[in-house]
């Protein structure tokens, strides 16, 4: 009898790995009946994980740490991270109006490297302040997300304090483009296809991509409930193998067409296959990047602390670093 | 009934639900249980501005609502201004948490509202969510039964017209086939309809 394993996922292009594990047969080959649970928001995914409705999830790396640490709005729930899942291809998009103001105020900056383009916001922000206008509003996908840290870093590199000089909120990605078009927000940091969508509709311009801000920043991981992972080591190893094999399959460009069609189904992402295919290229992790690297935790903790989400841990982050479990990965993969 | 003293005014409850029918059911349930200050909003792009204008003490929102992430940000921001909105998850009452998740209810409360005052509100919402789902299930079942009956009637008509069977014989033939093949009568009716449609 196949073991039933329940994994939560958010309907984004990079949910490809758990979807492929379930649908292309990698889980079945490991004796696992993988049931996927689609969560329409990170809050819903967090709740399902924290209250045991799912055994694990394809989850934002900083959210996994926040849940474990008990700062994510639910009681602390011990997790383990045995697989790194992706780097994502996030970008920052601004409204046409803001883009034009930035170009008009600082054409040289806008013609220069994208990582420094936030400098063009300085004259815009100063002019707004002098005119008594409200702050510019940016949004990201969730506060415990790399998108949030990428936006803060891009602003900081341009000399803007993201915590005091602009508003940073949260909107579900499917609502970002219409919010930008309606003028409720001035920009956002999101994964694809939400940047491409705004550009195609002519309501926004991409000013910088993740590659220019935080190129090696880890984005998503496989997070498992520690009690579930500990209860049956063989089952946990089988799941790790299924997910890593699925990741390799997803990384192979030859499979992109099949993958895009699979993701396009409403039960997964539910967007046009050609739009998904266009964004898949940058979204998949390079092969052999799935072993969890504790160095990623140190970096995330610094970013979470800088964002005001976390007080510097007294143990220097040792307890949170131990959430990352390369030993489980090695045990499963025979490394 | 809840405490209506001046020191403890009625909590201002906001129901956010992507399904306006369910929102109405929940709202009515709360009002009938004695909470008078209840408002609802449907899917909204400019959610935060609308919530800030309504200034609720308790927010009931369906668990699957994508706007929850926006609400959570409000919780983070509000912490700075000392009027926090905390998610209603108190480990001491795990039974209710599981009932809420099962029913698809989540709730956020403004810090300072006493736990014993929140609990009956959330319990009422859970009851109403469950009642709504039961009603919807019953309606779906009734609709599918009606659909089945229409199909059987259509298949019977086809057999009478093209095979010269009496109404009773047509019905008996389909029933017997269904029993023999261990399938539902409506499935057999569908097969009959398909067969005739292909011949035509």
Domain boundary among B110, B138, B166: B138
Instruction: Give the pLDDT confidence of A174-216 residue by residue, as tens digits.
Output: 889 989 999 989 999 998 888 988 999 999 999 999 889 988 7
pLDDT higher than 90, residue A136: yes
Q: Which pairing describes strands A137-140 and A187-190: parallel, antiparallel, or unpaired?
A: parallel
Name residues whose C-beta falls within 8 Å of residue A26's C-beta, 6 or more positions apart in sequence. A20, A241, A242, A243, A245, A246, A249
B124 vs chain A: nearest CA distance in angstroms? 21
In a domain, B84, yes or no: yes
The pLDDT, as a whole number, for residue B70 is 82
Could you tell me if B127 and B62 lie in one domain?
A: yes
Q: What is the rounded distance in angstroms from the CA atom of residue A18 to the CA atom of residue A248?
A: 12
Tell whether the model's pLDDT for residue A29 goes beyond 70. Answer: yes
Residue where a domain terminates, one of B102, B122, B138: B138
Q: How confident is the model at residue B4 (pLDDT cuts 50, 70, 90)?
A: very low
Statement to judge: residues B40 and B131 lie in one domain:
yes
In which element (H, E) is residue B32 found?
helix B20-32
Of A40, A50, A53, the CB nearest to B64: A40
Q: Are B20 and B119 in a shared domain?
A: yes
B119 lies in which domain range?
A: 13-138
The verdict on a CB contact (< 8 Å) between A43 and B98 is no
Tell me if the bond preceding A193 is cis, omega within 30° of 0: yes
* B152 vs A287: which has the higher pLDDT: B152
Q: Are residues B69 and B114 in the same domain?
A: yes
* In a shared domain, residues B125 and B43: yes
Residue of B69, B78, B87 best to disrupt the A interface, most CBs of A under 10 A: B69
Number of domains in chain B: 2
In chain A, the residue whose alpha carbon lies closest to the alpha carbon of B94 is A51
B92-149, pLDDT tens digit by residue?
577 887 888 888 888 887 766 677 777 888 889 888 888 888 888 888 888 888 888 9
Task: Dump pLDDT digits (tens) for B158-185.
Answer: 999 888 899 999 999 999 999 888 888 9
More confident call, A24 vs B67: A24
Are B83 and B109 contained in the same domain?
yes
Q: Examine the domain organization and report whether B132 and B152 are in the same domain.
A: no
Same domain assignment for residues B54 and B149: no
Partners of A47 on chain B (C-beta within 8 Å) are 63, 89, 101, 106
Domain A3-87+218-333 belongs to what topology?
D-Maltodextrin-Binding Protein; domain 2 (3.40.190)
Residue in chain A closest to B44 (alpha carbons) equals A175
Whose tokens are 């997790």? That residue is A79
Decide if B25 is inside a domain.
yes
Mean pLDDT over each residue of chain A, to the nearest integer? 91
Q: Choosing among A9, A40, A72, A190, which should be mutated to test the B contact, i.e. which has the most B CBs within 10 A? A: A40
Residue B152: both structure tokens together:
């059987």
Q: Is A288 exposed, middle or buried (0-12, 13-18, 19+ CB in 10 A)?
A: exposed
Instruction: Note whether ipTM > 0.85 here.
Output: no
Say if CB A278 and CB A193 are below 8 A apart.
yes
**Are the beta carbons of A160 and A129 closer than 8 angstroms?**
no
**Would residue A212 be called left, alpha or beta, if left means φ above 0 and alpha means ψ between -120 and 50 degrees?**
alpha
What are the structural domain ranges in chain A? Answer: 3-87+218-333, 91-213
Note the pLDDT tens digit of each residue in B54-72.
Answer: 878 888 988 888 888 888 7
* Both tokens assigned to A120: 């063009």
Residues B149 and B134 in one domain: no
Give the CATH number for residue B186.
1.10.10.10
User: Residue B115 is part of a domain; what is its CATH number?
Assistant: 3.40.190
Asked whether residue B74 is domain-assigned, the answer is yes
Q: Is residue B7 part of a domain?
A: no
The answer to whether the A3-87+218-333 and A91-213 domains have the same CATH topology is: yes
Q: Which of B19, B51, B66 to mutate to test the interface with A (most CBs of A within 10 A)?
A: B66
Distance of CA A24 to the CA centre of its chain: 23
Query: Would the pTM count as exceeding 0.90?
Result: no
- The arrangement of strands across the sheet holding A79-86 comes to A32-38, A3-9, A56-60, A220-225, A79-86
CATH top class, domain A91-213: alpha beta
Whether B8 is covered by a domain: the verdict is: no
Average pLDDT over residues B77-84: 41
Helix (H) or strand (E) holding A3: strand A3-9
Q: How many CB pairs lie under 8 A apart between chains A and B?
A: 72
Residue B2 falls inside a structural domain: no
Does the pLDDT value for residue B78 go beyond 70? no
Assess whether B106 and B188 both reside in one domain: no
The answer to whether the Cβ–Cβ distance between A73 and B75 falls below 8 Å is yes
Question: Of B138, B161, B177, at which residue does a domain stop?
Answer: B138
Smallest CA–CA distance from A184 into chain B, residue: B46
- Kindly report the backbone phi and psi dihedral angles of residue A73, in degrees, each rounded to the nearest multiple of 5, phi listed first: 90, 0
Side-chain half-sphere exposure of A129, counting CA atoms within 13 A: 9
Among the listed residues A198, A188, A179, A130, the one whose alpha carbon sits nearest the alpha carbon of residue A155: A188
CA distance A271 to chain B (A): 16
In a shared domain, residues B168 and B113: no
Give the dihedral sign, CA A178/A181/A182/A183. positive
Give yes or no: residues B70 and B122 share one domain: yes
Taking only the tens place, the pLDDT of each residue in A250-295 is 988 899 899 999 999 888 888 888 888 877 766 555 556 899 999 9
CB-CB neighbours of A299 under 10 Å: 16
Query: 3-state class of A80 per DSSP?
Result: strand
CB within 8 Å: B69 and A142:
yes
């Amino acid at each position: 009898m196949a073991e039933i394993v329940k994994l939560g996922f958010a309907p984004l292009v990079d949910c490809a790995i758990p979807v492929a594990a379930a649908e292309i047969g990698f889980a079945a080959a490991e004796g696992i009946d993988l049931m996927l649970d689609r969560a329409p928001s990170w809050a819903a995914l967090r709740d399902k994980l924290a209250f045991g409705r799912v055994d694990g999830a394809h989850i934002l790396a900083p959210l996994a740490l926040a849940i474990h640490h008990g700062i994510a709005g639910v009681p602390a729930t011990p997790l383990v991270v045995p697989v790194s899942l992706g780097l994502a291809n996030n970008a920052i998009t601004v409204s046409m109006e803001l883009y034009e103001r930035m170009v008009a105020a600082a054409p040289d900056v806008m013609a220069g490297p994208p990582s420094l383009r936030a400098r063009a916001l300085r004259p815009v922000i100063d002019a707004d302040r002098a005119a008594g206008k409200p702050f510019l509003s940016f949004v990201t996908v969730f506060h415990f997300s790399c998108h949030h840290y990428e936006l803060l870093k891009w602003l900081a590199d341009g000399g803007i304090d993201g915590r005091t000089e602009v508003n940073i909120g949260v909107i579900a990605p499917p609502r970002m483009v219409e919010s930008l078009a309606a003028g409720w927000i001035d920009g956002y940091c999101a994964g694809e296809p939400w940047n491409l969508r705004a550009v195609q509709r002519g309501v926004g311009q991409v000013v910088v991509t993740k590659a220019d801000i935080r190129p090696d920043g880890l984005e998503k991981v496989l997070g498992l409930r520690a009690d579930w992972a500990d209860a049956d080591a063989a089952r946990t190893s089988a799941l790790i193998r299924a997910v890593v094999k699925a990741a390799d399959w997803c990384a192979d460009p030859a499979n992109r067409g099949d993958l895009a069609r699979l993701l396009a189904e409403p039960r997964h992402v539910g967007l046009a296959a050609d739009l998904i295919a266009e964004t898949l290229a940058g979204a998949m992790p390079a092969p052999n990047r799935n072993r969890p690297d504790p160095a990623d935790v140190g970096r995330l903790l610094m970013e979470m602390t800088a964002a005001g989400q976390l007080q510097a841990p007294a143990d220097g982050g040792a307890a949170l670093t131990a959430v990352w479990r390369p030993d489980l990965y090695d045990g499963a993969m025979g490394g | 009934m809840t405490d209506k003293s001046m020191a403890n005014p009625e909590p201002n409850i906001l129901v956010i639900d992507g399904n306006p029918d369910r929102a109405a059911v929940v709202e009515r349930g709360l009002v009938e249980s004695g909470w008078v200050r209840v408002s609802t909003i449907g899917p909204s792009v400019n959610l935060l501005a609308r919530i800030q204008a309504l200034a609720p003490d308790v927010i009931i929102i369906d668990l699957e609502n994508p706007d929850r992430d926006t609400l959570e940000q409000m919780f983070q921001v509000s912490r700075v201004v000392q009027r926090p909105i905390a998610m209603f998850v108190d480990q001491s009452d795990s039974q209710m948490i599981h009932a809420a998740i099962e029913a698809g209810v989540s709730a956020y409360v403004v810090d300072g509202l006493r736990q014993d005052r929140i609990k009956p509100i959330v319990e009422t919402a859970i009851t109403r969510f469950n009642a709504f789902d039961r009603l919807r299930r019953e309606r779906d079942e009734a609709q599918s039964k009606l659909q089945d009956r229409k199909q059987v009637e259509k298949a019977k008509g086809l057999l009478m017209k093209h095979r010269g069977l009496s109404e009773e014989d047509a019905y008996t033939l389909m029933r017997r086939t269904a029993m023999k093949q261990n399938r539902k009568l409506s499935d057999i009716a569908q097969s009959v309809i398909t067969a005739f449609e292909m011949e035509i």
